Amino acid sequence: MLRFTETEKGNAVLNYNCYQYTKKRENKKSNQWRCRDRNCSSTISLCSQDLSIIKNETTHTCAQDTNKFIIDTIIGRMQKRTREETATIPKIYSQEIVKARVENPGLPTGSLFPTLSNIDASLYRRRAINYPKLPTTINEISLNGSWKLDKNGGDFLLVDETYETDRLMIFGSQWSICLYAD
């Protein structure tokens, strides 16, 4: 089975038969992938859509590793959740580690997985791509687009008015307004 994960930089990694490969060359009708272990010269060729093997892998001089795919998959999940959710990064990290333990009972997660302090810088970088910079003054607070909406896409920022140096912002969902009106 051909399975794909990502490198830290977001490039595709092919996982096949307990080896990992990165793309070396795209030809017209095939893609050549090379072993991710740069001391190993094994290559494998896939079709141009990377759906099937055209030429089997040449002999590896490196060792097979079943855990790399699992680790990259878990890290990929952490990265995805970091981009899409607002939960804190330590929380996402611990939840995904627990999930990894449950899904892979024999895996020594403690020694295999990066620690939170080893991975959090890269997770915070990913979060920063989708989240605006924190304002340092009241005037810098600028809510636009989806930042003004609630989880259901309804208006959440009801009032935004400035009085000299003060600013009044009132937040509420349609649901909460109805509740108060009743």
67 versus 95: smaller Cβ distance to Zn ion: 67
Task: Give the residues lining the site for Zn ion (CB under 5 A).
Answer: 35, 37, 40, 42, 60, 62
- Closest separation between CB of residue 9 and Zn ion, Å? 20
24 versus 91: smaller Cβ distance to Zn ion: 24
Q: Which two tokens stand for residue 5?
A: 């994960």
What CA–CA distance (Å, rounded) separates 48 from 29? 5
- Closest separation between CB of residue 48 and Zn ion, Å? 23
- Closest separation between CB of residue 61 and Zn ion, Å? 6
14 versus 35: smaller Cβ distance to Zn ion: 35
- Closest separation between CB of residue 59 and Zn ion, Å? 9
Residue type for position 29: K
- Closest separation between CB of residue 43 and Zn ion, Å? 9
22 versus 42: smaller Cβ distance to Zn ion: 42
Q: Which two tokens stand for residue 169?
A: 């912002």
42 versus 95: smaller Cβ distance to Zn ion: 42
